[in-house]
A and B are shown apart, each in its own frame.
Chain A
Amino acid sequence: VNVPGRLVYTDNGRAKNIVSRKDGLGGKPDAVVKVGFWFWADWRPVEYKSMVRAGAPRPKDVIQIMAQGLLVEAEYGRYPKYGYLEYASGVHVVRLGGRSRRWIRKFLKHLRRGSHPQVKRGDRCDVCPLRTRCPVVA
């Protein structure tokens, strides 16, 4: 792990599935590192991506790490202040915290209700491999 902190969880195949019943979420973060101790302890999720990403991290990956924060909260009792996105080109530190926690919870509620805001369409549909089967694009 190329991030600071002590490795407390890693998805090595035998790792347990972390579940947040409250949010209806379950999964295995790639890794969780613990930074600080006692009252100052912060458990931070780490997500590995094989792609090269020079500028800002992909929004999709950011949403993923925000949701992983909810799993970390369910397991360790505290929503992380930071998360790490490790691309082949380097590590991006993502600031999470209380604002991020409220945002992702609200977003999740919107998604489940079906009234969610959607990502701007842009060019992504042009390169989507599913475009031939997609009724939205066709």
Chain B
Amino acid sequence: VEHDAVAIAERAIGVKAAGRPRSRLGWTSPSELAEYAFCPEAHYLRHEKGIDVDTAERRIGTQKHASWAAGMGASWAVRRFFIRLMWIFFIVGAAILGLTMLGGNL
């Protein structure tokens, strides 16, 4: 059976969102995008608050997408900030180590 993707999607999507959703859609996967498109609130509860859909209970660190940051209720902006901070530490650390080794040889 052949179906037209745009026709199905347009039939389902129709009503404008009442307000700005609480969670922001940053870098995402197709499945997360589909979930967000259908209910940003469910996406917020699952991904930002770490609440499991099956039990509607808060579970930290056991979910597929839940990380320590999600467990803390951190937003993507906070997560991105920490990831960048980690990279900066790594690069600066490597540079210091490199310079120290170079200095020792000179």
Contacts and interface: CB of A to CB of B under 8 A. Distances in A.
Contacts of A25: 27-30, 33
B34 A63 contact: yes
A130 B57 CA distance: 9
B61 to A, nearest CB: 19
Given A66-B5, A130-B45, A121 B15 contact: yes
Contacts of A56: 3, 8
Interface in A72-115: 83, 90, 92-96, 99-100, 103, 107-108, 111-112, 114-115
The B contact surface, by secondary structure, is mixed
A118 B28 contact: no
State which size class the interface on B falls in: 35 or more
Nearest to B26: A24
Contacts, number: 146
Given A24-B28, A60-B34, A133-B45, A119 B6 contact: no
Given A111-B25, A130-B53, A95 B2 contact: yes
B53 A119 contact: no
Contacts of A92: 1, 3
